[in-house]
Chain A
């Protein structure tokens, strides 16, 4: 039985939507136990209102929680009994196998970093994010590519990037059912000599690995889906991710503007409405649940701060899949082969 610890108090819609997502996951995952960490009185009032399996949803009391806007380091130091700190500690103590949180990203990552060990051979953790692309991949025809790191490690050396490539590949294999994910380094040119020293050195090392390394790609290749796993440092990755989100929001705003501005444009949008709905479904982050924090000895899925019940259920399912597929073990074994 896999035990998935969920920070019940983290997220804009916590605890109601988080508890509901966990309740639904308890019905979908018959060989898992969900451990909800948070105010036991509050959770105890919510759970009986929901369809769930009372033999598979456990509550662990944590009297405080960290707000979405709190400063991570200070908040964790002041609230060692917060839901995220207690949740990370439960996993560290071996009372849980994976963690899911929609709460404060900095505090979640820091709580794991303070209490969890890294996978053997991994030097730095990486936060991965998925984004929709033109091409599809894997047995599931997955439209999403993975980019890592998007913020956990700002300054990297070549060794860190190699670790990110291994972790991203292992995750894509498991979650997208993609047997040989195409791994690429993000750079300012496709030539092996282009980019900062860390990228050039990582390129040389990845060429000798067993990964399906396709070399360097440029920014324009990201939305095209040329690579299934895009490897970069946390600073660049975060800028890229925010830019992708910004472009999407701008397109939506432009469409709204067009809708208001002219009847002919409105009719054109109406004609395209079913395609737009499909696109919306494709890019709906509620579907993929959350972003994994890779590199630690236990899976951690960071769900979107605005996660609703559906997004939380999916994030818990991803955590479960990571446990069933022994994601951390696979990363460790690949790193050992590379050494």
Chain B
């Protein structure tokens, strides 16, 4: 290490220590000067979306806080999906409600999994405590919405895809973000939502400013909600067709394949990771395809096209060395059979409802739901 580098590291030490213990906010890396704008940004939550985290009791919370990187478990298929999304022109941004003190262990976990990311934002709860802002400890909208808007201002992409979990706040925040950057939520309406979300005045002013400055686009094509709690999918219908509740990441990969974001080969990699986890068998994957077709989230034609494209991918080596699996034609046949099992009758269809979401009511309902959960001995999540 050169003397200059050593000096530079020494000079940034107070900042690094400050960020590490949470006294200073970590400033996400924006685009390098002269770097081209991303054409697609993928925003991921971590807990219950990428990482299997139990938050149902304080013992769970304590366990999550003291786990080391190797102990943390990603959901089967999530790592392969994140790796598949890390393509040129794509930007991976992680916004998590975990405290900043966990940055090192979470970053180590992502490194262990071979997941590359462009931004990694955590919640500075120590700062909230020191400022006496106890409402902010649990609040999600006043934390995540500005984090995403700031990220978008730094690196605006034409399209965005968001990944969260079935804690109700994720669906609300992601839809609100999508509608704000699409220009569908006026500043006055956003202010009312922030009041309902019990946002501190200066934070609300900062969010309103960010919302005005954020480049506008209709580009939020998909919001994936991982059904960690196995919530009934119909509960998310009110958020519109762009929001897709998924039981596992094979289903997310199928929708992204239909959207021409992933190739059949990349879908195979997600499937293989799930099979290798030991928690899924080929039958589960076939049933997962049937489930998304039944819910009207991919078409029968997409599923059949996938088996044909995946056949080509397997012939070009996507399954090489996988002696533990039956021949691909057998797998494809069982997948096709699962689609046929649905018969020819009409499946679930989506009636397009263009009515704007009433975010104030959604936020109020979410608060009420959270209170009910707390009464029953659960802590909040995400």
Contact = CB atoms under 8 A, between A and B. Distances in A.
Interface string A40-55: 1100110111111111
Interface in A252-266: none
Given A33-B284, A47-B294, A63 B343 contact: yes
A7 to B, nearest CB: 15
Interface in B271-285: 280-281, 283-285
Given A40-B345, A61-B345, A53 B230 contact: yes
Given A41-B347, A59-B290, A51 B283 contact: no
Given A59-B290, A59-B342, A48 B348 contact: yes
A47 B348 CA distance: 11
A36 to B, nearest CB: 10
A77 interface: no
B234 interface: yes
Contacts of B295: 44, 48, 54
Contacts of A51: 229-232
Contact of A59 (B233, B248, B341): B341
Contacts of B286: 58
A60 B340 CA distance: 9
A27 interface: yes
Interface residues of B, number: 33
Contacts of B292: 54
B341 A61 contact: yes
Interface in B253-308: 280-281, 283-288, 290-292, 294-295
A58 B338 contact: yes
A3 interface: yes
B233 A44 contact: no
Interface size range on A against B: 20 to 34
A309 to B, nearest CB: 14
A1 interface: yes
A45 to B, nearest CB: 7
A3 B287 CA distance: 12
B247 A44 contact: no
Interface string B224-248: 0001011111100100000000011
B345 A33 contact: no
Where chain A touches its partner, the secondary structure class is mixed
B251 interface: yes
Contact of A53 (B247, B294, B338, B341): B247
A199 interface: no
Nearest to B293: A44
A25 interface: no
Contacts of A3: 283
B101 to A, nearest CB: 33
Nearest to B294: A44
B317 interface: no
Interface of A: 1, 3, 27, 33, 39-41, 44-45, 47-61, 63
24 contacts: A1-B281, A27-B230, A33-B283, A40-B294, A40-B342, A40-B347, A44-B347, A48-B237, A48-B348, A49-B232, A51-B232, A52-B230, A52-B232, A54-B233, A54-B247, A54-B248, A54-B295, A55-B248, A55-B285, A55-B291, A58-B338, A59-B294, A59-B341, A63-B343
Interface of B: 227, 229-234, 237, 247-248, 250-251, 280-281, 283-288, 290-292, 294-295, 338, 341-343, 345-348
Given A44-B342, A54-B295, A55-B248, 17 more contacts: A33-B283, A40-B294, A40-B347, A48-B232, A49-B232, A49-B234, A51-B230, A52-B232, A55-B247, A55-B280, A55-B285, A55-B288, A58-B287, A58-B338, A59-B294, A59-B341, A59-B342
